Amino acid sequence: MADLVHRLGEAVETGDRNCLFASNRHPTSKKEKPVSGELQRLSTQAEVSPLMRTHGGLVLSNEGRQLQAALRREAANGIVQKARIAIASDIAMDAMDSVKEVDDYRRTLAGNDQTLNALLVEVEMNHVHQVSRIQRGSAF
Protein backbone atom coordinates (compact mmCIF):
# COMPACT_ATOMS: atom_id res chain seq x y z
CA MET A 1 0.00 0.00 0.00
CA ALA A 2 2.85 2.38 0.86
CA ASP A 3 4.35 1.73 -2.57
CA LEU A 4 1.01 2.55 -4.22
CA VAL A 5 0.76 5.82 -2.26
CA HIS A 6 4.31 6.70 -3.33
CA ARG A 7 3.57 5.92 -6.98
CA LEU A 8 0.31 7.91 -6.88
CA GLY A 9 2.14 10.88 -5.41
CA GLU A 10 4.74 10.57 -8.16
CA ALA A 11 1.98 10.44 -10.79
CA VAL A 12 0.34 13.61 -9.44
CA GLU A 13 3.67 15.47 -9.40
CA THR A 14 4.82 14.39 -12.85
CA GLY A 15 1.45 13.98 -14.57
CA ASP A 16 2.60 10.56 -15.80
CA ARG A 17 -0.07 7.94 -15.11
CA ASN A 18 2.19 5.16 -16.34
CA CYS A 19 4.35 5.36 -13.20
CA LEU A 20 1.34 4.21 -11.16
CA PHE A 21 1.96 0.64 -12.07
CA ALA A 22 5.16 -1.19 -11.24
CA SER A 23 4.92 -3.24 -14.42
CA ASN A 24 5.05 -0.04 -16.50
CA ARG A 25 8.42 1.11 -15.31
CA HIS A 26 11.08 0.90 -17.93
CA PRO A 27 13.73 -1.69 -17.14
CA THR A 28 17.21 -0.34 -16.63
CA SER A 29 18.79 -3.75 -16.98
CA LYS A 30 20.05 -4.78 -20.41
CA LYS A 31 19.49 -8.46 -19.53
CA GLU A 32 15.73 -8.33 -20.10
CA LYS A 33 14.59 -9.69 -23.44
CA PRO A 34 12.37 -7.54 -25.65
CA VAL A 35 8.68 -8.46 -25.71
CA SER A 36 7.77 -10.62 -28.69
CA GLY A 37 5.38 -9.28 -31.32
CA GLU A 38 2.59 -11.64 -30.22
CA LEU A 39 2.93 -10.64 -26.56
CA GLN A 40 2.99 -6.98 -27.53
CA ARG A 41 -0.20 -7.43 -29.59
CA LEU A 42 -1.96 -9.23 -26.72
CA SER A 43 -0.80 -6.60 -24.26
CA THR A 44 -2.16 -3.86 -26.51
CA GLN A 45 -5.51 -5.64 -26.81
CA ALA A 46 -5.72 -6.02 -23.03
CA GLU A 47 -5.48 -2.27 -22.55
CA VAL A 48 -8.80 -0.51 -22.51
CA SER A 49 -8.03 2.82 -20.91
CA PRO A 50 -4.84 3.98 -19.18
CA LEU A 51 -6.98 5.27 -16.32
CA MET A 52 -8.66 1.93 -15.70
CA ARG A 53 -6.10 -0.69 -16.67
CA THR A 54 -2.40 -1.31 -16.40
CA HIS A 55 -0.35 -2.43 -19.36
CA GLY A 56 -0.72 -5.94 -17.95
CA GLY A 57 -4.49 -5.68 -18.22
CA LEU A 58 -5.16 -5.54 -14.46
CA VAL A 59 -7.93 -3.24 -13.25
CA LEU A 60 -6.90 -0.68 -10.65
CA SER A 61 -8.73 -1.36 -7.37
CA ASN A 62 -11.43 0.95 -6.00
CA GLU A 63 -9.08 1.85 -3.17
CA GLY A 64 -6.39 2.75 -5.70
CA ARG A 65 -8.78 4.92 -7.72
CA GLN A 66 -10.08 6.63 -4.57
CA LEU A 67 -6.55 7.31 -3.40
CA GLN A 68 -5.62 8.64 -6.83
CA ALA A 69 -8.66 10.95 -6.80
CA ALA A 70 -7.85 12.14 -3.28
CA LEU A 71 -4.28 12.94 -4.28
CA ARG A 72 -5.51 14.88 -7.32
CA ARG A 73 -7.90 16.88 -5.12
CA GLU A 74 -5.09 17.64 -2.66
CA ALA A 75 -2.80 18.73 -5.49
CA ALA A 76 -5.54 21.00 -6.88
CA ASN A 77 -6.19 22.45 -3.41
CA GLY A 78 -2.47 23.12 -3.03
CA ILE A 79 -2.40 25.01 -6.31
CA VAL A 80 -5.40 27.12 -5.25
CA GLN A 81 -3.78 27.90 -1.89
CA LYS A 82 -0.52 28.95 -3.57
CA ALA A 83 -2.48 31.25 -5.89
CA ARG A 84 -4.30 32.82 -2.93
CA ILE A 85 -0.98 33.39 -1.13
CA ALA A 86 0.50 35.01 -4.25
CA ILE A 87 -2.52 37.29 -4.60
CA ALA A 88 -2.43 38.26 -0.91
CA SER A 89 1.30 39.01 -1.18
CA ASP A 90 0.72 41.18 -4.23
CA ILE A 91 -2.06 43.09 -2.48
CA ALA A 92 0.10 43.60 0.63
CA MET A 93 3.04 44.90 -1.43
CA ASP A 94 0.77 47.29 -3.35
CA ALA A 95 -0.71 48.52 -0.07
CA MET A 96 2.75 49.12 1.43
CA ASP A 97 3.92 50.93 -1.72
CA SER A 98 0.82 53.12 -1.64
CA VAL A 99 1.26 54.05 2.03
CA LYS A 100 4.95 54.83 1.48
CA GLU A 101 4.16 57.05 -1.53
CA VAL A 102 1.56 59.00 0.46
CA ASP A 103 3.96 59.35 3.42
CA ASP A 104 6.77 60.59 1.15
CA TYR A 105 4.41 63.04 -0.53
CA ARG A 106 3.20 64.35 2.86
CA ARG A 107 6.80 64.94 3.99
CA THR A 108 7.58 66.75 0.73
CA LEU A 109 4.51 68.99 0.99
CA ALA A 110 4.92 69.81 4.68
CA GLY A 111 8.64 70.47 4.58
CA ASN A 112 9.56 72.03 7.95
CA ASP A 113 6.07 73.39 8.66
CA GLN A 114 4.89 71.46 11.75
CA THR A 115 1.32 72.76 11.54
CA LEU A 116 0.88 71.68 7.93
CA ASN A 117 2.55 68.36 8.75
CA ALA A 118 0.04 67.73 11.56
CA LEU A 119 -2.88 68.44 9.21
CA LEU A 120 -1.48 66.22 6.46
CA VAL A 121 -0.87 63.38 8.94
CA GLU A 122 -4.65 63.16 9.44
CA VAL A 123 -5.18 62.83 5.68
CA GLU A 124 -2.43 60.21 5.54
CA MET A 125 -4.00 58.23 8.41
CA ASN A 126 -7.34 58.24 6.57
CA HIS A 127 -5.53 56.78 3.58
CA VAL A 128 -3.91 54.08 5.77
CA HIS A 129 -7.31 53.13 7.23
CA GLN A 130 -8.86 53.01 3.76
CA VAL A 131 -6.04 50.76 2.48
CA SER A 132 -6.51 48.48 5.51
CA ARG A 133 -10.23 48.15 4.79
CA ILE A 134 -9.56 47.35 1.14
CA GLN A 135 -6.93 44.78 2.08
CA ARG A 136 -9.33 43.05 4.49
CA GLY A 137 -12.01 43.00 1.80
CA SER A 138 -14.32 45.51 3.48
CA ALA A 139 -16.30 48.05 1.51
CA PHE A 140 -15.12 51.64 1.22
- DSSP code at position 138: -
What is the model's pLDDT at position 26?
Answer: 46
Q: How far apart are CA 118 and CA 110, in angstroms?
A: 9
The 10s digit of each residue's pLDDT in 9-48 is: 666 566 555 554 544 444 444 454 555 666 666 555 555 4
Q: How far apart are CA 79 and CA 75, in angstroms?
A: 6
Task: For residue 43, give every residue at least 6 positions away whose Cβ sits within 8 Å of its Cβ, in sequence order, or none.
Answer: 35, 55, 56, 57
What is the model's pLDDT at position 117?
Answer: 95
> Any idea where the domains of the chain sit in the sequence?
43-136
For each of the chain's 140 residues, which pLDDT tens digit applies?
455 555 656 665 665 555 545 444 444 444 545 556 666 665 555 554 455 555 566 677 788 888 888 998 999 999 999 999 999 999 999 999 999 999 999 999 999 999 999 999 999 999 999 999 988 887 65
